Amino acid sequence: MNLIERPREMQECSLKLRREGRRIGLVPTMGFLHEGHAALIRRARTLADWCVVSVFVNPTQFGPHEDFTAYPRDPQRDAELCRACGADALFRPAAADMYTADHSVYVDERDLSAGLCGAFRPGHFRGVLTVVAKLFNLVQPDVAVFGQKDAQQARLIQRLVRDLNFPVHVVIEPTVREPDGLALSSRNAYLNADERRRALSLSQALRRAEALVREGERDAERLKAAMRPILEAAAPTEIQYLEIVNYQTLRPTPQVAGPTLIAVAVKFGKTRLIDNVIVGR
Amino acid sequence: MNLIERPREMQECSLKLRREGRRIGLVPTMGFLHEGHAALIRRARTLADWCVVSVFVNPTQFGPHEDFTAYPRDPQRDAELCRACGADALFRPAAADMYTADHSVYVDERDLSAGLCGAFRPGHFRGVLTVVAKLFNLVQPDVAVFGQKDAQQARLIQRLVRDLNFPVHVVIEPTVREPDGLALSSRNAYLNADERRRALSLSQALRRAEALVREGERDAERLKAAMRPILEAAAPTEIQYLEIVNYQTLRPTPQVAGPTLIAVAVKFGKTRLIDNVIVGR
């Protein structure tokens, strides 16, 4: 496995491989990799013949009071996981090589990014879309694989590709969970034992909603009314949102009709967790 | 020469040529081509072995009270000029194929775009950067050629490429002028005979500043004081700006020290004309 740290070297390598007709796969990550990332990398390997994992804790997608400096990092374990999953290259640029001091061009989205996490993390998706556009240009992927756990992000990446005409096929992989249902997340490392137990309330509430939809319930208010007590029983620090939205538009829908995203964001102490399911498809 | 109208066809064609190791050149235009564009196309031919001219009157770079619908168009003459200049392809997409009704991703710049034309045309450069990012992804150029006449735009395209890591070499070609000095522009077509004569004041004022710099003048206020009467003598409808800025930062500079842009924007009736020179390099 190649370790590539310089953006220019990454791009030269990718442009050469494209000229040779190789099909490049990209899994963009912020590192501290877990089995969820491993699933993305293994999927990318089936879709491409040269697979790059990028590890970059992107400063522009963190708000001023968010956890940029605290975000967990483990470069050596990340490299081992990438190698074990069969990645061909690990792209690990330095922040100073990705953003000059006078960086001034940003990619912004004005519709799908307004609600859900976007409402609570101003500037977050601008940072995500900007760095993903940069990574697409540096890695030149034919296919890029993202996780369904970040559902709004995944929809925004699809919109980025459509609206700016990136020649990239976006693949969204199902959320990987612990045996008890907790969605894998690098931020789970922040949880103490008590918070870890209470964090199960997110997946439990979502499974309850799924079960109700299977039984025929379509009314969004009734679904939310069934979920909210499950979240509240875990005594979260804050329920940021509990939303039922059309999966295409990400706008609230009164009824489950067609693909519908049920998404929650909950804080335990300073740790913000998100989870979601798609129903009605 | 190929005429390509579908974005998808353009991109498939370009990706195939890239795989074949061809070097692609792009000259993005809004059509109604003149000798200034011809110079860009001829330059692109020397830098690439497959040269695409795009003709697209981009709706997102026009303000609500600007001249989008009135903007001059002559598709047949444009095609003839492209052919005569040796272009290999003319890419002429329909607006509906470039922007879906729910288009929501934009490329924005926060520093170089604030002054000069950006101050008078809110949203203009967002539209320019968005469509150029789209064209870069559709045409996959190795090199793209822009005109110095739109000096701020040219600097912004360089910044776009640097900040989003597009693998594109940006070349800026000198402004082409009529024998009497008027900078070529598609918008010159709007001028009546009297306005055409008065429009010479832009290049005359700029030539006066150039001459003073050659003679040793470095003070921006004295240079502007020498230029302003020349512009005012032509009784313009409005002098939007007369600015002397550092060419790298596009910020006003009190002294000509290093590459310095002297730029003017003047209206005659409804017609807005811009022109510039670079001194001190």
Residues 6+ apart with CB under 8 A from B80: none
- Do the Cβ atoms of B106 and A104 come within 8 Å? no
Asked whether residue A143 falls in the same domain as residue A46, the answer is yes
Listed residues A173, A201, A216: the one ending a domain: A173
Residues B121 and B237 placed together within one structural domain of the fold: no
Query: Within a domain: residue A179?
Result: no
Contact state of A110 with B106 under an 8 Å Cβ cutoff: yes
pTM: 0.97
- A24 and A127 assigned to the same domain: yes
Using a CB-CB cut-off of 8 Å, the residues of chain B touching A104 are 109-112, 159, 163
CA closest to A129 among chain B residues: B105
Range of the domain at A262: 186-276
Residue with tokens 């929809």: A155
Partners of B112 on chain A (C-beta within 8 Å) are 104
Does B39 share its domain with B113? yes
Whether B280 maps to a domain, the answer reads no
Report yes or no on B262 lying in a domain: yes
pLDDT of residue A103: 98
Same domain, A150 and A252: no
pLDDT digit string (tens) for chain B, length 281 residues:
999 999 999 999 999 999 999 999 999 999 999 999 999 999 999 999 999 999 999 999 999 989 999 999 999 999 999 999 999 999 999 999 999 999 999 999 999 999 999 999 999 999 999 999 999 999 999 999 999 999 999 999 999 999 999 999 999 999 999 999 999 999 999 999 999 999 999 999 999 999 999 999 999 999 999 999 999 999 999 999 999 999 999 999 999 999 999 999 999 999 999 999 999 98
Determine, yes or no, domain membership for A198: yes
Residues B194 and B145 in one domain: no
Regarding whether A112 and A25 lie in a shared domain, the answer is yes
Domain final position from B149, B173, B197: B173
DSSP state of A252: B
Residues A206 and A150 in one domain: no
On chain A, the residues whose CB falls within 8 A of the CB of B100 are 162-163
What is the pLDDT at residue B281? 83
| A249 is a domain residue | yes
CB of A137 less than 8 A from some CB of B: yes
Residue A181 located in a structural domain: no
Instruction: Please report the pLDDT score of residue A25 as a whole number.
Output: 98
**Which of B22, B24, B111, B163 best probes binding to A when mutated, by most A CB atoms within 10 angstroms?**
B163
Residues B109 and B247 in one domain: no
Given its phi and psi angles, is residue A28 left (phi above 0), alpha (psi -120 to 50 degrees) or beta?
beta
Residue B105: Cβ within 10 Å count: 23
Examine the domain organization and report whether B17 and B95 are in the same domain: yes
Is there a domain that residue A85 lies in? yes
How far is the CA of A21 from the CAs of A18, A116, B12, B25, B136, in angstroms? 5, 40, 14, 21, 20
Query: Is A162 in the same domain as A192?
Result: no
Whether residue B180 is contained in a domain is answered as no
> Do the Cβ atoms of B259 and B281 come closer than 8 Å?
yes
If we measure between CA atoms, which residue out of A8, A103, A77, A90 comes closest to residue A50?
A90
Q: Which of the listed residues A116, A142, A173 is the one where a domain comes to its end?
A: A173
Is the separation of the CB atoms in B184 and B149 below 8 Å?
yes
What contacts A80, CB < 8 A, 6 or more positions away?
none
Partner-chain contact A109 B104, CB within 8 Å: yes
Whether ipTM tops 0.90, in short, is yes
Q: How far apart are CA A274 and CA A240, in angstroms?
A: 9
Which domain CATH number covers B202?
3.30.1300.10
Q: Name the region of B118 (left: φ>0; alpha: ψ -120 to 50; beta: rest).
A: alpha
The CATH number linked to B32 is 3.40.50.620
Query: Which residues, given as ranges, of chain A have pLDDT below 70?
Result: none
Q: Is residue A134 less than 8 Å (CB to CB) from chain B?
A: yes
Same domain, A49 and A138: yes
Q: Is residue B37 annotated as part of the catalytic site, yes or no?
A: yes
Q: Is A100 on the interface with B (CB under 8 A)?
A: yes
Domain count for chain B, please give it.
2
Neighbours of B258 (CB within 10 A): 12
All residues at 6 or more sequence positions from B250 whose CB lies less than 8 Å from its CB, including other chains: B112, B115, B116, B152, B155, B261
* pLDDT at position A114: 97
Tokens of B263: 């730029």
CB contact under 8 A, A18 and B21: no
pLDDT at A281: 82
> What would the DSSP string read from start to end of chain B?
-EEE--HHHHHHHHHHHHHTTPPEEEEEE-SS--HHHHHHHHHHHHH-SEEEEEE---GGGS-TTSSTTTS---HHHHHHHHHHTT-SEEE---HHHHS-TT--EEEEESSTTSSHHHHHSTTHHHHHHHHHHHHHHHH--SEEEEETTSHHHHHHHHHHHHHHT---EEEEEPPPB-TTSPBP-GGGGG--HHHHHHTHHHHHHHHHHHHHHHTT--BHHHHHHHHHHHHHHT--SEEEEEEEEETTT--B-SB--SSEEEEEEEEETTEEEEEEEEE--
Interface contact A163-B103, CB threshold 8 A: yes
Residues of A in contact with B162 (CB under 8 A): 100, 105
Here the tokens at position A188 are 């789970």
Chain B residues in contact with A137 by the CB 8 A cut-off are: 164-167
